[in-house]
Amino acid sequence: DVVRRDEATRRVLDGEADVAVTYATGPLHGVRVESAVVVPVYAIVPVGHELAGRARVSLAELCAYPVALPTTGQSLRELFDIAARIGNLAVRRVLECDELAPLYEFVRQGGGVSLVGGLGDVAGEGVEHVHLDDPAFRQREAQVQTMAGRTLSLTVTRFAALLVSLVQPAI
């Protein structure tokens, strides 16, 4: 199932799921973290955009353009809002969406810029990924979680090990 991060962790805590792969921004009680990887965050910009081709871009530079954002409640959005408040940045939020495809299409069509995590959030043509350099985004980890104290079957243990090997930055 694909569910929100708090729901994924709740299912592991309640024993409804053996394993969850989710983002976390702080300590979690009752779960065993099998793997935790800080995943970079990227600005996505149209090919040919002023920010395209750069190794890094700051949040202030990104916010100079109309921004499409994940919906409130997603870890990437929470960290974006915190970083924007800390930096006292004016943000022109023109689209909020909980799916990646519309964010990418918005950027491809020249509506502005957006941001994505670097864990499999890669969409093909018409956009470029530029590392978004802000300390706030280093607070988010991609975690493989199991219930603390629970003995897992051999099959689940192998599956969790496979997930750990796959949870690596994609870009």
* DSSP codes, 90-138: ---EEEEESSHHHHHHHHHTTS-EEEEESSS----TTEEEEEEE-GGGG
Query: 3-state DSSP call for residue 157?
Result: helix
For Cα atoms 93, 22, 107, give the angle at the middle one, nearest 5 degrees: 30
Report pTM.
0.80
- Asked if residue 62 has pLDDT above 90, the reply is yes
pLDDT category of residue 113 using cuts at 50, 70 and 90: very high
pLDDT score, position 140: 85
- Spatial separation of the C-alpha atoms in residues 113 and 63, rounded to whole Å: 9
Percentage of the chain surpassing pLDDT 70?
Answer: 95
pLDDT score, position 119: 67
Contact of 92 with 134, CB cutoff 8 Å: no
pLDDT score, position 169: 65
pLDDT (average), residues 24-28: 77
pLDDT category of residue 2 using cuts at 50, 70 and 90: confident
pLDDT category of residue 66 using cuts at 50, 70 and 90: very high
pLDDT score, position 120: 59
- Asked if residue 121 has pLDDT above 70, the reply is no
How many Cβ atoms are within 10 Å of 48's Cβ, its own excluded?
A: 10
Contact of 164 with 85, CB cutoff 8 Å: no
Long-range contacts at 25-31 (CB < 8 A, ≥ 24 apart): 25/75, 25/78, 25/79, 25/139, 25/140, 25/141, 26/139, 28/143, 28/145, 30/147, 30/148, 31/145, 31/146, 31/147, 31/148
pLDDT category of residue 117 using cuts at 50, 70 and 90: confident
